[in-house]
Structure 1
Amino acid sequence: MRVRIVVFDGMDDLDVVGPYSVLGMAGRAGLGVSVGLTALGGRPHATTVGGLPLPAGPWAPQDADVLIVPGGGYASGAAPGVRAEIADGRLPGALAAAVRPDLVLASVCTGALLLAAAGLVTGRPCTTHHRAVGDLVAAGGRHVEARVVDDGDLVTSGGVTSGLDLALWLVERFRGADAAGVVQRAMEYERREPLWLVEPAGTTK
């Protein structure tokens, strides 16, 4: 499983670092997971809302199985952040262009609003930070009250810390429950529920 986390100025620290820690640990445990950071426009790094500079690799969604989009600054209207990226339009456009049959697009917190701006949540079950639910619904998403919502090639998660649960679910989905359990025990983290999962036949559990 090749995962790339999208970085941009004003993203929330934990939206990025949380999933990166989980997926990095899965890789070091020999579970067949790789994770890296990617930024649009050849930027060598991006800075979180907390001032943490993070190095970024080139924009290459074609080399990923999963692309994770963090949130940041949306509820407060802070700039830079999600609202600025939506207004700029380039990142939503790049996310829309990245869609292909074997790519899973995922989001943490208000990263779902970037996916919405890309036209990728219309009519689909999804979730986001509780303060942004109204905007997600207004953008066409079908909000589900769950920690992680898996709708096949679209996987969204709730508020900031839900990125940990998102990443653990991705490890389980791609590498199995035992693999996710290895990482969870190593991190001494108790996963939070609920998980909303669409089944191939259209049922959920």
Structure 2
Amino acid sequence: MNRRTLLRTATVLSAAGLTTGAALDAAAATGSSPRRSRGPLRVHVVLFQGVEELDLAAPYEVLSASDHFTDRDVEVSYVTLDGRRTITAAFGTTLRVDQGWAPEKADLLVVPGGGYARKEDPGVWAEIRRGALPRALAEARRPGLTIAALCTGVMLLSAAGITRGRPCTTHHRARADLEQQGGLLKNARVVDDGDLVTAGGVTSGLDLALWLVRRELGVDAALGLEAMLEYEARGTVWTSAPNS
């Protein structure tokens, strides 16, 4: 562990009340971190033209910050279907994305929403009409990969046939469409059906990401993030897993 990493970790963990000076002293004395006992959790956040800023940023930040609260590396990347490119989000933010489509290298694929209310603008509707992203999402499914989506990003999964016959949720204005297209709508903030996890609402990226951290990295990691973010997960999580 280099000095910069040590100091950054100390600041984050101390703010959350989750570390002691002795633990950091021990790490510094050995010159390495006592963490990282398993392979990394690889997260790809999917971007497209017209994606909502809050939808893309909340999961990215929460999942990236989770690296401070777990013994497992967490690698979070923005990806696009069309390879390296610049994306313009719903409110004009431009982002340079350097990583292309590689779901075979991910453990968790997160699909934001955006633009569902504006059918002629870039966003979810445009991607559904184009067809390439829904097809790629459908083809990405494999054992070991969890596909998650939030807000109207769930409608891209619906267009891919991924939500058909499965418990799910989405933004309140798209719920009727989701149900009409075969999704088993649940009135919950987050719906966890194993390898499919969905969340409803513009701010639900926070709650989706915190739930995924809790599920993949443990309750302590989620609690640490809540303390650091000064945000408590809100709403009900519906899950198909017994005794969750």
Task: Output the TM-score relative to the length of structure 1.
Answer: 0.95
1:92-131 counterparts in 2 under 5 A? 92-131=134-173
* Other structure's SS at 2:238 match: strand
Whole-angstrom distance in 2 between the partners of 1:83 and 1:204: 37
Greater C-alpha Rg: 2
Q: Which one of 42, 45, 48 corresponds to residue 8 of structure 1?
A: 48
Compared with structure 1, are the counterparts of its residues 30 and 178 closer, same or farther at alpha carbon in structure 2 (3 Å cutoff)?
closer
How far did 1:28 drift? Answer: 4.1
Cα drift, residue 47 of structure 1? 1.4
Q: Distance in 2 between matches of 1:4 and 1:78?
A: 27
Contact 2:190/2:198 (8 A) holds in 1: yes
The answer for the alignment partner of 2:58 in structure 1 is 18
Among 12, 36, 59, the alignment partner of 2:77 is 36
* CA deviation string 1:78-101 (max 9, x = no partner): 510000000000000000110001
Q: Per the alignment, do residues 178 and 204 of structure 1 end up closer, same or farther by CA in structure 2, a change over 3 Å counting?
A: closer
- Percent identity of paired positions between Structure 1 and Structure 2: 52
RMSD of aligned Cα (Å) = 1.3
- State the Cα distance separating 1:135 from its structure 2 match: 0.6
The equivalent of 2:28 in structure 1 is none
Moved over 6 A (4+): none
TM-score scaled to structure 2, two decimals?
Answer: 0.80
Q: Tell me how far 1:29 sits from its aligned partner.
A: 4.2
Q: What runs of 5+ residues in structure 1 fail to find an aligned partner? A: none
Q: Contact (CA 8 Å) 1:86, 1:117: kept in 2 or not?
A: yes
Task: Indicate conservation of the 8 Å contact 1:198/1:204, yes or no.
Answer: no
How far, CA to CA, are the matches of 2:172 and 2:71 in structure 1?
33
CA 1:123/1:183 → structure 2, altered by over 3 Å: closer, same or farther? same
- The equivalences for 1:129-148 within 5 A come to 129-148=171-190
What's the offset of the Cα at 1:34?
Answer: 1.6
Out of 29, 34, 48, the position equivalent to 2:89 is 48
Secondary structure, aligned partner of 1:110: helix
The correspondence for 2:225, drawn from 174, 177, 183, is: 183
Task: Determine if contact 2:70/2:221 at 8 Å carries over to the other structure.
Answer: no
Distance in 2, Cα, partners of 1:126 & 1:51: 30
- Extract unaligned runs of 5+ from structure 2: 1-40
Between stretches 20-29 and 65-74, larger displacement belongs to 20-29
